[in-house]
Amino acid sequence: MALPPEQEPDSESLQPWHEPQPDVVIAGLSGRELMDEKRRDYRNAVFVQVSIVAIALLVADVGRTPAWYFFLAATGTYLFLLWDMLRNFTARRWLARTLLAVVVGLFAVTVGVNQFGWTFGLDPRQVNLGLFVISLAAQGLVIGHAIADLFDSPRNTVDKLWGSACVYFMSGIFFASLFHILNLLHGDLFGQAVGTGHEAFFEAIYLSFNSLVGLDSAYPNASHLLRNLTVLEGIWGQLYLVLLIGRVLMPADSASPSRLGAD
């Protein structure tokens, strides 16, 4: 019996199935250009995140007034980078535009409240609470997209390093924002007086990264809720590292298909 002639594979079948398709365009970029843009965003975000954490941890040593201005500038840059990263993660332009409006409003109101005494007829504590709640939602949105991008998209080693470091720092700042929100709602969260201003947020950053790296809490009289949240953050930090190591060691052929155009 004669065998059927062997068909020539077409160009589409020769293309690796996990590579982004050239017709997927996000933020006016596609393919390698989009990957390069994401790497730059990750790298810039890491530099700003390190600055935020360093200022928060060293505020008592460098002086509160200059540290606050540096922190305010770093925070504004970080909010802008959150939008810049999101617009490279999703093809939903309305979502990126909405986040841009949110981060611009957040920064403007933050400056107004802390520098010019804007209160909008409310208690300053309530205004700060609203700002941090909105900020927490924006951070959670970007973190979710960043994790999906990091684990689903094919990348080289440098891309993975910058992306993983960025998500790690984002997680720490996210939990710090959550701790600060709870402190604004319950003044005795830390078990000692830490205030409600930016100094309290600096303490929240310290506690968050203290928990993320698995160190003992510096607040032995912290509330039951805060202790449980720090444990959950520590679990997330360890789980993230395990998943990340597994993703880095996974062969490229085993990677899941890119979801660059899925959302």
- Reply yes or no on whether the pLDDT at 216 is more than 60: yes
Hey, what amino acid is at 232? L
3-class secondary structure, 27 = coil
Domain that holds residue 99: 31-249
Q: What is the pLDDT of residues 38-61, one digit of tens each?
A: 889 999 999 999 999 998 888 766
Confidence of residue 13 (pLDDT cuts 50, 70, 90): very low
Q: CA 167 from chain center: how many Å?
A: 5
Q: Which stretches of 68-112 are assigned E, i.e. beta strand?
A: none
In a domain, 2, yes or no: no
Residue 112 included in any domain = yes
Q: What is the pLDDT of residues 154-176, one digit of tens each?
A: 656 677 788 889 999 999 999 99
Question: Whole-number mean pLDDT of the chain?
Answer: 80
Residue 175 domain flag:
yes
Q: Is the pLDDT of residue 92 over 60?
A: yes
10, part of any domain: no
In a domain, 97, yes or no: yes
Domain-located, residue 64: yes
In the chain, % of residues over pLDDT 90: 36
What confidence tens digit (pLDDT) does each residue in 227-259 have?
999 999 999 999 988 888 777 676 654 555 444
Residue 208 C-alpha from the chain's centroid:
14
- Both tokens of residue 20? 């982004």
State how many domains the chain has.
1
Interacting residues of 21 by C-beta distance below 8 A, sequence separation 6+: 260, 261
In a domain? residue 26: no
In a domain, 72, yes or no: yes
